[in-house]
Amino acid sequence: MAKKSNEYLDVSPFKIIETGFHKDRARVSESIFSLGNEYAGIRGFFEEGYSGESLQGSYFNGIYEYALKETENAYKGIVKRTHFTINSVNWVKCKILVGDEVLDLNTASIDAFHRELDMQSGLYQRSFIWHTKLGNLKICFKRLMSMMNCHEMLQQITFESDKSIPVYVSFHLDSNVLHWGKDCYWKKEEELIENEQYGIYVSTLTTHQSLFSLMQLDSEIQPFNSYTLDKEVVVEYEFIVDRKIEFTRYVINICDKLHSNTYSKLKLQAQQELNHFVQKGYTELLKENQEYYQVVWDKSDIKIVGDEKNQQGIRYCIFQLEQTYHGYAKDNNIGAKGLTGEAYSGHAFWDSETYCLPFYLFSNQEASKNLLMFRYNTLEEAKKRAIELDCEGACFPIATRNGKEGCNLWQHASLQFQPSTGVVYAIMHYMNLYEDKEFMQQYGLEIIIEVCKFLLTRGQYNSDHSGFGYFGVMGPDEFQMMVNQNTYTNFMAKKTFDYLLDLIQSHDYDVASMLKKCGCRASFINELKEASQKMILLYDDETKLFEQHEGFFKLPHVDVNQIPTSDFPLYSHWSYDRIYRNDMIKQPDVLMFMFLFSSDFTFEQKLKNYEFYEPKCIHESSLSPSIHSIFACELGKYDEALKFFEFSTRLDLDDYNCNTCEGIHTTSIAAAWMNIVYGFGGLRSDRATLQLAPTILPTWQEYSFKLVVHGSRLEVRVTQEYVELALHGMPIELKIYDKDIRLVDTYKIERQ
């Protein structure tokens, strides 16, 4: 693997720390030090302004816009108008002056720079000493976003000096924000200055969503002026710093995604919430967040003894997963960058169901169900998309924020069906753990039937009708397009067909009425059976290899280890067509379906396919390393497992892909969690009975992870000598090292 880490952060078990200002990593740090609470997110940019490279981003989950113009003369099936999460109100903006000097860390003389993110509270703080012409001024910034009352957001700024220094500070709520530094998608509705509260009410240009932002400032210093500008409100202060001077800004941000409330109603709600927030104060908010994260770590913490860097890395992954999504609202999903950047337009991909869902399945049933309900609630859009592709049923989009296809690259939007099969896989996975028959009857069955209808009409028989499969597709490996019989696509389609057929055979559900609701023809079930039986799967019994797609074995070879680091990311340095004409793999394709349905394959099959495909993978997708590490663990290749694990768990902290500046890799972070639990822990959950087969690296003394299983809390502790299971709650059935057990409280077994 040609990629290298770019380390500059201190190692700490529950904190992310930057000691000294690393100007060359400024935008990377903005991503890493992002805060979020699912409802909203804000990058770790400098609120006082910064003339160096920066992406000043503030985002709200579900607030999005359409491109201002449609693509002209677009062919049928090609997206005419994209949509994307937009940059929203900058609620931390301020300006700081001493005399005629404006604070700007790109040009100012500073030292003692320190910033940290506390993963036990969500508190972000930054401090430094500014050497001005009038004296030295110590400034400390703090930010905090409530994890429980997600409208509540707080900023605190303190000034200290050992001599009298005159300071000017202005606090702003500013909606003149630019998406990718180009366009502003907000228009002014109202501005407010009333009873020491300051607010702006704005709406989006095309989706007509609205945002009410209201703030109140608490300080011993009184403002000398306040005023409104277009989409901005400003409060100004002048004072002498000869002791500690503190300002606390309380902010309430309320989104109206459906634009269904009046200004007066939102104003009243915001004022009531802000009054309560100010009364609660900073200390109580911090305490609430500490209690919230204590629960998170109690049920989801992963401990590694003997590896401080990866201990920090995996906790950062869990922390960011919780910030990004925890089931706060039923219409939210998980964007590829979470709420930390504008890359990928804030879209959710098939990663939500295949990579992110497992973390929530084993920690938060409501959150995992809400992820599935997002797909059900956008099923009508998926059905419209199928029609655009000249098919029946439902085709879930490759990239979306609102259920519509948001990707205008036809080779992805029209050729990739991982989202549709991924949604059905997620339902299988959810049902394995929760046996939620009510969900299946009311929602799951309809999704499965509509996806089957799409896959049946999108697939085709070969010329002699001996085989059924998919022509002109793109699998998970996005370096191969318009291929025939991509084995991942075919395999997952067969699994989807078979799952519906099994549900019919079980007689547990009223399938007949749902088939009628979905308008299925009388021959539908027989057509499914025949397509499944004749599905083309490119497998060689002698070599045990699955061919990724027709002709893959004959493609020109590229030695991925000879590609210079300066060429990454490849999409930015190689021509598009150059990427497509060789056997280099972007991310696991064959290995991906072998992971999802691990129990279907033998050790030998996994070994042969791993050894064939791993050297060809360039890991240009952040989703890739963890899957390879999971395989390496199972196959006893511990050096490779560690290499890939370090890549995945510290992908953003050490900027392996040289693109953390665009935002963190949220779904890769979820994959890093899987790396521990499914990789080293050997968890397999593709069957109704959970399986565990823990391994441990020679350099680790021990590790442990926690799962919520059928409502009970299971802790798995692995040492060099033994595995210990501790259960809190009702007994569960599971398999460990191929031994069936009924776990009641604790169980100890020698490690194999």
pLDDT digits (tens, 9 = 90+) for 120-172: 999 999 999 999 999 999 999 999 999 999 999 999 999 999 899 999 999 99
- Domains and their CATH numbers in the chain: 33-71+78-298 (2.70.98.40), 303-688 (1.50.10.10)
User: Which of 78, 82, 74, 667 is CA-nearest to residue 415?
Assistant: 78
What does the pLDDT average to over 227-255? 97
Specify the pLDDT at position 622.
Answer: 80
Query: Residue 667 above 60 pLDDT?
Result: yes
Cα dihedral 597, 600, 602, 607 in deg (nearest 10): -30
Q: Is the pLDDT of residue 277 over 80?
A: yes
- Does residue 647 have a pLDDT over 90? no
Nearest to 141 by CA among 10, 224, 50, 63: 50
Higher pLDDT, 644 or 495: 495
Res 2: pLDDT: 54
| pLDDT given for residue 32 in this prediction | 97
Question: Count H helices, E strands: the chain?
Answer: 21, 29
Q: Are 218 and 146 in contact (CB under 8 A)?
A: no
Tell me how far CA of residue 422 lies from CA of 296, 351, 419, in angstroms: 27, 8, 5
Mean pLDDT value across residues 509-527? 96
Residues paired with residue 743 on neighbouring β-strands, in sequence order: 732
Q: What is the pLDDT of residue 493?
A: 98
Q: Is it the case that residue 292 has pLDDT exceeding 60?
A: yes
What is the predicted pLDDT for the residue at 3? 62
pLDDT in tens, 715-744: 999 999 999 999 999 999 999 999 999 999
pLDDT at 696 over 70: yes
Local confidence band at 565 (pLDDT 50, 70, 90 cut-offs): confident
Give the confidence band of 329 by pLDDT, cuts at 50, 70, 90. Answer: confident
User: What b/e string do you get for 495-526 counting C-beta neighbours within 10 Å, with b at 16 or more?
Assistant: bbbebbbebbeeeeeebeebbeebebeeebbe
Mean pLDDT, to the nearest integer, of 30-38? 97
Average the pLDDT over each of 225-239, 373-387, 557-571 and give the range with the smallest value: 557-571
Residue 487 has pLDDT above 70, yes or no: yes
- Mean pLDDT value across residues 435-454: 97
d(CA 700, CA 719): 8
Q: Is 465 exposed, middle or buried (0-12, 13-18, 19+ CB in 10 A)?
A: exposed
CA distance 487 to 442: 32
**Whether the predicted pLDDT of 620 surpasses 90:** no
Q: Is the pLDDT of residue 1 over 60?
A: no
List phi, psi (to 5°) of 281: 85, 170
In which residue are the tokens 């920090």 written? Answer: 312
Mean per-residue pLDDT, 508-513: 96
State yes or no: pLDDT of 4 exceeds 90: no
Across 25-58, b (16+ Cβ under 10 Å) vs e yields bbbbbbbbbbbbbbbbbbbbbbbbbbeeebbbbb
d(CA 129, CA 674): 42
Q: What is the mean pLDDT of residues 393-410?
A: 95
What pLDDT shows up at residue 621?
A: 84
Are the CB atoms for 61 and 38 separated by under 8 Å? yes
pLDDT of residue 636: 94
What does the pLDDT read at residue 675? 95
Interval 571-590: pLDDT, tens: 888 998 898 999 999 999 99
Q: How confident is the model at residue 260 (pLDDT cuts 50, 70, 90)?
A: confident
Q: Collapsing DSSP states into helix, strand and coil, what is residue 698?
A: coil
When mean pLDDT is compared across 278-282, 316-320, 656-660, the lowest value belongs to: 656-660
